[in-house]
Chain A
Amino acid sequence: MKKLEVVIPIVIGLGLFILLYNSGLLSVERSLTTLAEKYLEYIPDASSIYTSMAFEVVTAVIWDQRGFDTYFETSVLFFAIIATLAIASKLEDIIGERRSLTIIVRLVTRILAPIIVVVSISIALHGHITPGGGFQGGAVFVIAPLLLMLAYTSDWIRSRGFTDRKLLLLRGLGVTLIALAGLIPVVYSYTTNINAYLFQNQAKPDSFFNYPAYLQTPISTILVSGTIMLLNILEFIAVLTGFTLAFYYLTREFEKRGGGE
């Protein structure tokens, strides 16, 4: 047995090395694909027409792609929420009694909740320049209401005035506004006869429709990267309300099952 403990890691290590060596991943002289080269060359260059003004290559995808990406990822979640609501609406609206958690868990949850919310807002607002964005921010945000609901029962969220109807309204509003924001270039194109595409954000060789990268405010200029910041904020709202709703119904259901404890 002792021998095996030595032999197995060596065999796995050797196998990995051979695989990496043969696939060329260990070689220093690797070349980039043409698309990657184009990305690296034009995207950080503010004078280029393809620039996205981002400091990090991770987020330096052209803006138009991100618009599509935002719309479809939020639509997937939207349908998932609809399905959850359809199931949850069939179930009875009773909040079961639960044995409450200790004071330690309850107080720590209350302390952590505002910090989680603040961090999630930062993630959502900086999606256009750093990794993150509306979806990620929303997914982080929902941890706060989920923890609070687990510590204080699902009643917590309703006692704060965040009823399921209000959340659903915000959710629908977020998704609708994202879709409408994507339609602006199309409407513009039809009304002015200038070429523009769905979710277009930057000028193209055959279309000069372009959102401004910077927003002038009395204090200073804010980098908004066209509609990306707006889309991120809208998606943040859509995702956080959607997830909160889903967890609200799931927690309520969980409480009913565990009720009478």
Chain B
Amino acid sequence: MNRGYSVSIVVFTIILAVVYLVYTGSYGLVEITIALLVGVGVSLVLAPDLILNPSKMSPRRFITAIYYLVKYFTIIEAKAHWSVLKLILMPSAKYNPAIVRIPYSVTSDYSILLISNSITNTPGTVVIDVDEKRKYLYVHWIDATSVEDQEARKSVSEEFENYAYKIFE
């Protein structure tokens, strides 16, 4: 068992212990001990499924991930909500719904998940299928400005993909 792997297990243990403590809602010494034990046990059984490449674990990626999460749930979400809100409230709004094919170039499973969940979670766009062999996402877009692959990628997923590169690739 190499060092990167052990570090990953420790990180998972801490995350799971925090989940346990937050769910339990009490933070005594006994509770923290139980939380850590539970965290270690569960990590040893289930974390091997989640650690795909331990050597990629680095604080910079963590900080980028947190930065992305904050930015995503505030600025990006607000913009997307606003554009859909306009479509809903303006009686004269013209819809142009379409299913577009968006290519992606990332390779890690986590990157694909980050991109597709980012797309789905913003209002207006929903990922309906992934073609892992040919590397395409099929996205339903409420107001498609372009049905051409690269153009669609630019307005739907380019920003997410850039962050996916920084965090997971």
Contacts and interface: CB of A to CB of B under 8 A. Distances in A.
B42 interface: yes
Contact of B42 (A102, A117, A219): A117
Interface stretch (B30-38, B66-74, B95-103): B30-38
Size band of the interface chain A makes with B: 20 to 34
Nearest to A129: B26
Contacts of A102: 129-130, 132
A220 B130 contact: no
A110 B109 CA distance: 12
Contacts of B43: 114
B130 A114 contact: no
Interface residues of B, number: 30
B20 A114 contact: no
B38 A121 contact: yes
A122 B46 contact: no
A115 interface: yes
A111 B12 CA distance: 11
B113 A122 contact: no
Contact of B130 (A104, A110, A117): A104
Contacts of A160: 45
A126 B21 CA distance: 12
A107 B113 contact: yes
Given A102-B130, A220-B28, A220-B29, A118 B113 contact: no
Contacts of A18: none
A115 B109 CA distance: 19
B2 interface: no
Nearest to A114: B46
Interface in A177-228: 217, 219-220, 222
Contacts of B20: 118-119, 121-122
B16 interface: yes
Contact of A118 (B19, B33, B112): B19
20 contacts: A102-B129, A102-B130, A104-B112, A104-B116, A107-B113, A108-B113, A108-B117, A110-B46, A113-B46, A114-B16, A114-B42, A114-B47, A118-B20, A119-B19, A119-B23, A125-B34, A126-B24, A217-B30, A219-B30, A219-B33
Interface of B: 12, 16, 19-20, 23-24, 28-30, 33-34, 38-39, 42-43, 45-47, 49-50, 109-110, 112-113, 116-117, 127, 129-130, 132
Give the 9 A-B CB pairs with smallest separation, nearest first: A114-B46, A102-B130, A110-B49, A122-B24, A118-B20, A107-B113, A114-B42, A118-B16, A122-B23
